[in-house]
Structure 1
Amino acid sequence: MKLFQTLTLFLCLVGFTSLHAQVIIATPPFPTDQQQVVITFNAAEGSGGLAGYTGDVYAHTGVITNNSSSGSDWKYVVANWGVNVPKAKLTRIATDVYTLTITPNIRAYYGVPAGETILKMAFVFRSGVQVGGQWLEGKTADQGDIFYDVAVGGLNVSIINPEQKQLLAELNQAIPVEVASIDADSTILTINSNKVAGTTGTSLSYNINADTYGKFWVKATAYANNEAVADSFFYFVRTPLVVEDRPAGTVDGINYISDTEVVLSLFAPNKQYVFALGDFNNWELDETNYLKRTPDGQHYWISLSGLTPGREYVYQYFVDGNLRIADPYAQKILDPWNDPYISDITYPNLKPYPTGKTTGIVSVFQTAQVPYNWEVTNFTAPPVVKQLIYELHIRDFVATRDIKTVTDTLDYLSRLGVNVIELMPINEFEGNDSWGYNPSFYFATDKAYGRTEDYKRFIDECHKRGMAVYIDMVLNHSYGQSPLVQLYFDPTAGDGGQPTAENPWYNQSCPHPPYCWGYDFNHESVHTSAFVDRVTKYWLTEFKVDGFRFDFTKGFTNKVGDPGNYDASRIAILKRMADKIWEVNSNATVILEHFAPNTEEKVLADYGMMLWGNLNYNYNEATMGYPANSNFSGISYLQRGWTNPHLVGYMESHDEERLMFKNLQFGNTSNQWHNIKNLSVALQRNAEAAAFFVLVPGPKMIWQFGELGYDVSIDDPCRVCAKPIRWNYYGEFDRRQLFYYYSTLIELKKSQDIFSTPTFSLDVTGAMKKIRLTNDEMSAVVIGNFGVTTASINPQFYTTGTWYDYFNNDSINVTDVSAQISLQPGEFRLYTTKRWQSPAFVGLNENPAIKHGFLIYPNPAHDRFSIEIEAPVAADYHISLMNTAGQTIMQLFQGKLQSGPNKIDTANIGGLPRGLYFVSVNNSQGVSLSKLMKL
């Protein structure tokens, strides 16, 4: 680094760490952009992620130039991450020692245009192949990128060792210093401006004995022809720890004492010392940011006073001289890799990352915050048995990918009728583009979706509409960006690193492969239990969420082997967790993605928890027209032998293939008049499935856009990749009809107690399916044909007498409760002993191009009827007759109508079954519908 004494010295504060050998050495030590340079990489130093690795090693490398937006903005990267190119392959010259020759010169190697100044070379070294599903990496000791200065030629000086610009030393530690210069007449070394060594040569070596506590500035200055350049570093010798109890009431994380004071506390048993680095001390180590330790050796803490009210402060913990972590309990973090891609619209005025001050994720605290003003303070979630849950992924629901826009859609969801929104993970996860099951920080909302107040407003607006909000919480595992993982982690252990044995929260290795993701929480640990309880209490109180869906709770065990077996220890863990949740909110919902033996799930359901019930395969077989393997009985909590309706059944979820995709790709085509690959037929099949899903007593879950027949595959282009957002589906008549069916069925479930009755049965194993329900007031029977040909079914009516056909606005007089009823393929009916108002699917999309609508007469009609239309202008019209499933069964007219009154005499409909039909009048401006009763 070249520093002219006529300028103010710029001291880079990155890299304050303990003394260790160099990660890379450059030959020559002052390479210019026109020189060849050999980089020697010591894999045992820095992060040590490649230590002991014997495979091929490659450099992920680029440069920092005068056009870089920051000191970490790489340019002219040789190859994308994970791509092996020969010019970036290192040569092994000894165990853990490699060289990379950058030739013919730096500028040509990286392809940097003339006129752009190269400031630094940037490196991350990696394994040639993934090991254990991840890349092995060689980085700095604090997991940062490795940089090396590119000289500009002429007089220069550099402190080659130590390579850190700030160094933490122990008392009486020897600090070897090596200085190299070029074109210098003389070079001197000073400590706190006192000369300790000098030379007239090109190199200087000196050993510092760090025998005094405090901070010391070491500076190397080279002189030539009345010019001077300098390089420097600090070293700091820490005093013995102060041992003192934390202030009463202190918890780990951020404790707001007043508008000008906070207490920070970190749980870090078996660590030697901790510093707090941040805006409040210019990221410099000194006695004022040296944390005290509690007498039991478990906690480190510090009181910070004199803070500016309302200002956001950025900070990290610096642990044992080699690790920088953000606060595990932080409610906001800054991410140098992903924050730059968050738009100002999604997160206005996001605080910039402290580039040049530190590396890695940093945490944020802010005193004197303005609390959110809740409009709903006493919300109670709907009864479990009547819950219709809408699983929603923010990224794939609205084009803006933010929670503010999702809030704007709540009226649509209200029209649909769902009364619970279940958000996929919204706490900070790794990256911005993810399902969220790779969590890193459990108390911070993910900024890629918006600000904290935006999330709170969303929940408040849901509550105003009678909707509860559940959040998806991942406490089975974390990934490498979690500070709880980083605090106790061995990068050389296992396949790509693993938590150490002393990690309070995580197992060293997952005990139940292959059902393993990330780093496995040890739920037998009291420390994990305490952390889990902090997480759940925080979201229940700070955000007023109404419950949780816990991901892969089958993994909440340390039992070795198949987690699919009954596990009493896991039951105890989950009961303890639920009890703590209910201590905070006795009405909170606890949903488990468990998929364990039914004997175990029954215990948990009886205890008050709810469990996911996956019927995707069975329902999809039915909708595709292959009913042989379409037994729906698993959707019934009674069929599982449960006492309480705590089964959250679903046909689709974020993790399952979409019904409509398979309908259209693989649907049964054996009946040309009922071709399931036809869109309108496929949608009708989904409507039929919805009736046999929603109306089964117990809570149900819908995956977003299932109500519109979303038909993009889960694997297009990959399972977790962003999917097309199809709000335009609502403008398509057939899809909107499916929406109306869903909304009607949902309203029935919420408003009619018959669909909450514990007295019901399912006969749903073959093509002809039925549900029978009864209570003290009435009875209901749902029948449907999931085959592809006309067939009959015994409805097993409870009584003789009048039964009302809900969807057809009709009734029948039952004299034989077992008399067969014929159903067309895809047809379903709901019969009740009490008359309800039939759904009004029509009149919801009137066509303004038809001046006064149209008249059908006679209506009801037996065999023929006429249509009168007053057309405002001459235009082409298409008129058809549809059944209640929205299927076109007869073309009535196609051609041009003149401006003014028009009369159309239709074909004979005498051969059609009696019941309700719809006449659809279409032109280029839209569609109008009207009911027709066939006698």
Structure 2
Amino acid sequence: MKKIFYLFLISISLTTACKKDNGGSGGTLPSPPTADLPSGAKDGVAFINGGKSAIITLIAPKKTSVSVIGEFNNWQTNLNPMQLSKDGKTWFVQIDGLNPDTEYAYQFEIDNKLRVADPYCEKVLDPDNDKYIGTSTYPNLKAYPTGKTSGIVSVMQANQPVYTWKNTNFTRPAKNNLVIYELLVRDFTADHNYASTLTKLDYLKNMGINAIELMPVNEFEGNLSWGYNPSFYFAPDKYYGTKTALQNFIDECHGKGIAVILDMVLNHSFGQSPMVQMYFSNGAPTADSPWFNTVAKHPYNVGFDFNHESQETKYFSKNVMKFWMQQYKIDGFRFDLSKGFTQHQSSDDAGFAAYDASRVAIWKDYHNFIKSVDDNNFYTILEHFADTKEETELTNDGMMVWNNLNYNMNEATMGYLGKSDFSWGFYTNHGFAKPEGAVSYIESHDEERLNFKNITYGNASGNYVIKNNLPTSLKREELAAAFFFAIPGPKMVWQFGELGYDISIDQNGRTGEKPIKWEYFQDPNRKALYDVYSKMISLKENNAIFNTTDFNSNLSGAVKYIKLNSADNNVIVVGNFDVVPQKALVDFGSSGSWIDAFGNAINLNTNIYDVTLAPGEYHVYSKTALK
């Protein structure tokens, strides 16, 4: 995610939601609190008396008054004033006479001037964006209370629809063997919902995918978003479907042996967030905000920067994590901009990436909390890109970090050799102790698509042309896939990368909607690339040698190779990344017969593989047959 593409969203949301100065204490502080929180109260709404009553709470220190307004009191102010508890920060009130089967819209009115939704609610109504959500995606969506209030409203209901889980004994894939498919629901199917995405699970399963990483699905600003502009952390965004539809999606994935990882954004929040609005003045969070810095601490922040040294932020973040782990049975988090969980001010890349002991402590604390909730091979993946010492310390603790190979691998696929060494894919080059520390990828939501650059900028020599040549550019993608999946450790594929998606990331604006190209699968050349992905993933998942710690490689020149060694087999991947024929002189370590996973067996009279490879030619040889 990049700063420039979200700045306008901050302005829009704060213009509509924060028209008045909402910062500070709003006047004289209330009398010292004397009441204990009622038994059964929790953050947000706790239903009691069979759902006929609700205890509603809000953390809002230093406010003068807080009331609950909603459909249960006809939006009348001061009918249900909240009381401040002895902790001096938590307001509460009990609402009686509710129908457990009814959805009630409600808000908080703070200091008689600001209306906000409940930060802990599991559903919101949006007066501007809900009208664009179709009934096939969200049936019977409650109408917004037009004329009664303004801004985002919360929804509560005692007897919510309850999803019955079918697959309760799912075994998560080993971290080493993860092949993650990063997926943006909006741009994956035309109906942009969980139900339509479910129809494509067999496509992913047949490819060998064993984990799906959903880009952010909790409520974000607008509908047409990547999701990195979050506002409500407990509510699934309705543009993709209902709560039970998301639970069913995860359940069905588990039924097919596919883990589900959620992209979670806790570096920042945006102006639609009630937590931002409650302490906001002059375009920034105020100094008394329990959660946010007044000025972002690092140069890549978007929205408003969480202070993860604040106990209130830690408390909130842990509640978010626990909620999704327990209510949705997810298998992991990918934490966006995890390097931003710092209170050390930096203004450039070097300062931001430098070792930060406080940041390490924050992440170890969060990771320990996650393990306390679920220690059954739960995945904690960080978008970190920090100092090697810091990343090593985090991976030694059991976390995983993103590992970007896009630039160097794309140089290789375009046929330019000077910067085509993608050996950064090997965990040992990071100093990590285990292969699972680095989740490598050659494409992600943030990177330009390899095949777009192949077709736009690809090299050529004589009749061998990559630029504007779809069959050849796709063959270059096959070559890259053979090497990519041969490197030990977890892998991530960006959606449609397996079909050579060649629409630029910047078409219709970087975060704008992109064409959905399922017809690609009918193109024989693109289907051939899918088949190579499927074959290489199958080899990786079914042959332990692809997770060996005994390997060596040479990825610097035109002819590149990777050697994987084990007690009972040897695998050698070799290919020519040049645009002209090149002689390969590779020591295979032994003579005799070698089986090619993508062609005919060869017989070597000596240890040396002495062959001239055509441009783009590749082989995956093994001493004994692979499964």
Query: Taking structure 1 as the reference length, what is the TM-score of the superposition?
Result: 0.63
Is residue 395 from structure 1 mapped to residue 201 from structure 2 by the alignment? Answer: no
SS at match of 2:460: coil
Q: 1:327 to 1:511 in 2, by over 3 A?
A: same
Q: Does 1:539 align with 2:331?
A: no
Q: Partner of 2:88 in structure 1?
A: 297
Structure 2 residue aligned with 1:582: 371
* Partner amino acid, structure 1, of 2:324: W
Alignment pair present for 1:549 and 2:334: yes
1:628–1:767: 8 Å Cα contact kept in structure 2?
Answer: no
Give the C-alpha shift of residue 671 in structure 1: 2.8
- Residue 65 of structure 2 is matched in structure 1 by 273
Determine the structure 2 residue equivalent to 1:48: none
Matched, 1:595 2:385: yes
User: Of residues 800, 812, 819 in structure 1, which corresponds to 2:602?
Assistant: 812
Alignment of 1:674-689 (within 5 A): 674-689=465-480
Amino acid at match of 1:251: K
Residues 217-268 of structure 1 deviation map (CA, whole Å, 9 limit, x = unaligned):
xxxxxxxxxxxxxxxxxxxxxx989741112342211112232122111111
Counterpart Cα distance in 1 of 2:398 and 2:67: 45
Greater displacement, 585-594 / 290-299: 290-299
Q: In structure 2, how many angstroms separate the alpha carbons of the residues matched to 1:240 and 1:620?
A: 64
The structure 2 residue matched to 1:520, chosen from 305, 314, 317, is: 305
Q: Note if contact 1:779-1:833 (Cα within 8 Å) is conserved in structure 2.
A: yes
SS state at 1:415 partner: helix
Whole-Å separation in 2 of the counterparts to 1:745 and 1:833: 17
Counterpart Cα distance in 2 of 1:552 and 1:170: 37
Which residue of 608, 611, 617 maps to 1:827? 617
8 Å Cα contact 1:668/1:677 also seen in 2: no
Shift of 1:297: 1.4
Could you tell me which of 567, 571, 575 is aligned with 2:360? 571
1:261 aligned residue (18, 43, 53): 53
Residue type of the partner of 2:388? N
Distance of aligned partners of 1:140 and 1:644 in 2 relative to their CA distance in 1, 3 Å threshold: closer
1:428-439 equivalences in 2 (<5 Å): 428-439=219-230
TM-superposed CA distance for 1:369, in Å, is: 2.1
Q: 8 Å contact 1:391–1:421 — kept in the other structure?
A: yes
- Asked whether the equivalents of residues 781 and 795 of structure 1 are also in contact (C-alpha less than 8 Å), the reply is no
Distance in 2 separating the partners of 1:135 and 1:324: 17
Kept in 2, the 8 Å contact 1:141–1:322? The answer is no
Quick check: 1:466 aligned with 2:251? no
Tell me, yes or no, if the aligned pair for 1:430 and 1:440 is still in contact at 8 Å: yes
Match of 1:635 in 2: 425
1:509 to 277, 283, 295: 295
Q: What SS class does the counterpart of residue 354 from structure 1 fall into?
A: coil
For residue 478 of structure 1, report the CA deviation from its aligned partner: 0.5
Residues 1:344 and 2:129 are matched in the alignment: no
> Which has more helix, going by share of residues?
2
SS across alignment from 2:427: coil
* Distance in 1, Cα, partners of 2:592 & 2:306: 60
SS in structure 2 at match of 1:620: helix
After superposition, where does 1:191-206 map in structure 2 within 5 Å? none
Stretches of structure 2 lacking an aligned partner (at least 5 in a row): 1-6
* C-alpha distance in structure 2 between counterparts of 1:761 and 1:789, whole Å: 25
What secondary structure is seen at the aligned counterpart in 1 of 2:601? Answer: strand
> 2: CA distance between counterparts of 1:678 and 1:141?
52
1:792 to 576, 583, 586: 583
Report the secondary structure of 2:608's partner residue.
coil
Distance 1:139 1:674 in 2: 53
1:674 deviates by 4.3
**Local SS of the residue matching 1:618:** helix
Pick aligned residue for 1:284 from 61, 76, 81: 76
Q: CA RMSD of the aligned region, Å?
A: 2.1
Q: CA deviation at 1:487?
A: 1.0
Question: AA paired with 1:498?
Answer: A
Contact 1:396 1:722 (C-alpha < 8 Å) held by counterparts: yes
Pair 1:528–1:625, CA change in 2 (3 A): same
1:751–1:137 distance in 2 versus 1, CA, 3 Å = closer
**CA contact 2:293–2:304 (8 Å) conserved in 1:** yes
- Per-residue CA distance 1:744-765 (angstroms, 9 max, x = gap): 1111111111101111122111
Question: How far is 1:132 from its partner?
Answer: 12
Following the alignment from structure 2 to structure 1, what is the Cα–Cα distance between the partners of residues 288 and 146?
Answer: 33
| TM-score normalised by length of structure 2 | 0.94
Match of 2:450 among 645, 659, 662: 659
**Distance verdict in 2 for CA 1:340–1:729, change over 3 Å:** same
Residues 360-410 of structure 1: per-residue CA shift (max 9 Å, x gap): 100011112232100011322100111100000011110111111011111
Provide, for residues 689-714 of structure 1, a one-character-per-residue CA deviation record: whole Å limited to 9, x for no partner: 00110121100000000000000000
Per the alignment, residue 356 of structure 1 pairs with 147
Distance between the aligned counterparts of 1:462 and 1:381, measured in 2?
A: 11
Q: Which residue of 2 aligns with 1:415?
A: 206
Distance 1:277 1:429 in 2: 24
Higher percent of residues as strand:
1
Counterparts of 1:282 and 1:700 in 2: how far apart (Å)? 53
Matched, 1:616 2:406: yes
2:195 aligned partner, one-letter code: K
Offset, 1:659? 0.5
C-alpha spacing 1:142/1:560, structure 2 compared with 1 (3 Å)? closer
What does residue 314 of structure 2 align with? 529
1:626 and 1:374, CA in 2 relative to 1: closer, same or farther beyond 3 A? Answer: same
Matched residue type, 1:567: D
Paired residues of 1:243 and 1:292 also in contact (CA < 8 A) = no
The answer to whether residue 498 in structure 2 is matched with residue 717 in structure 1 is no
Note if contact 1:424-1:472 (Cα within 8 Å) is conserved in structure 2. yes
Q: Is the 8 A contact 2:27 2:64 kept in 1?
A: no
Secondary structure at the counterpart of residue 771 of structure 1: strand
Matched, 1:802 2:593: yes
Matched residues in 1 for 2:302 and 2:210: separation?
32
Count of residues in Structure 1 that have an aligned counterpart in Structure 2:
609
Structure-2 separation of matches of 1:139 and 1:806: 59
Give the residue type in structure 2 aligned to 1:398: T
Greater Cα offset, 131-140 or 567-576: 131-140
Structure 1 counterpart of 2:306, which letter?
Answer: F
* Offset from partner CA, 1:660-713 (integer Å, 9 cap, x none): 101101111223134443111100000010011012110000000000000000
Any conservation in 2 of the 1:633–1:639 contact (CA below 8 Å)? yes
What is the CA-CA distance between 1:806 and the residue it aligns to?
1.8
Structure 1 regions of 5+ residues with no counterpart?
1-129, 145-168, 172-238, 838-935
SS at match of 2:198: helix
Cα deviation code 1:609-644 (max 9, x no counterpart) = 110011101111011111221111001101222101
> 1:564 is matched by which residue type in structure 2?
A
Which digits, 9 at most, give the CA deviation of each residue in 1:265-285, with x for residues without a partner?
111111111100001111112
Secondary structure (helix, strand or coil) at the match of 2:583 reads strand
1:368 partner letter = N
Q: Is the 8 A contact 2:247 2:328 kept in 1?
A: yes
CA pair 132-750 structure 1, distance change in 2 beyond 3 A = closer
